[in-house]
Amino acid sequence: MAAQEDLSRIMGVRHVLGTGTYLGLPSMVGRSKKDTFASIKDRIWKRINSWRGRALSKAGKEVMIKSVLQSIPSYVMSVYLIPETTIKEIERMINSFWWGGGTNTRGIKWMAWDRMTVPKEFDG
């Protein structure tokens, strides 16, 4: 530790513990990977909320999802293994944007498959 401090003083640089980011990636990943990669979810959520007020068609939503939302975590995923829970939360946000619509629409209300396939003689 003393050698590191001497070297940083001689070279005129700061001694940092590696808690910053480089090229948008965390320079150090600790035990809590969920907290480390929460910034990806935040970026996706902000982007989705900025689109909610627009009246987008299904084709427009598809283009936005494929070109913008899916590209946000792709670079991070090429370097790090993102926790499964974070990936599922990102998928849930994208699915709610795709199916749920914006402020004016209520989205699609899904029904369980066994309720939907009840025969007509049983009031299906």
Task: Please indicate, yes or no, whether the overall pTM of this predicted structure exceeds 0.85.
Answer: no
Residue 92, domain extent: 33-101
Between 22-36, 52-66, 84-98, the lowest mean confidence (pLDDT) is in 22-36
pLDDT at 1: 77
Q: Taking the C-alpha atoms of 96, 99, 101 and 107 in order, what is their torsion angle to the nearest 10 degrees?
A: -110
pLDDT value at 107 more than 80: no
Report the mean per-residue pLDDT for the chain: 81
The answer to whether residue 107 is domain-embedded is: no
Beta strands per DSSP E along 1-124: 21-22, 25-26
Q: State the average pLDDT over residues 2-22.
A: 78
> CA 1: distance to chain centroid?
38
State which of 15-19, 32-36, 88-92, 105-109 shows the largest mean pLDDT.
Answer: 88-92
Residue 3 included in any domain: no
What is the number of domains present in the chain?
A: 1
Return the SS3 of 22: strand
Q: Is residue 106 part of a domain?
A: no
What pLDDT shows up at residue 45? 92
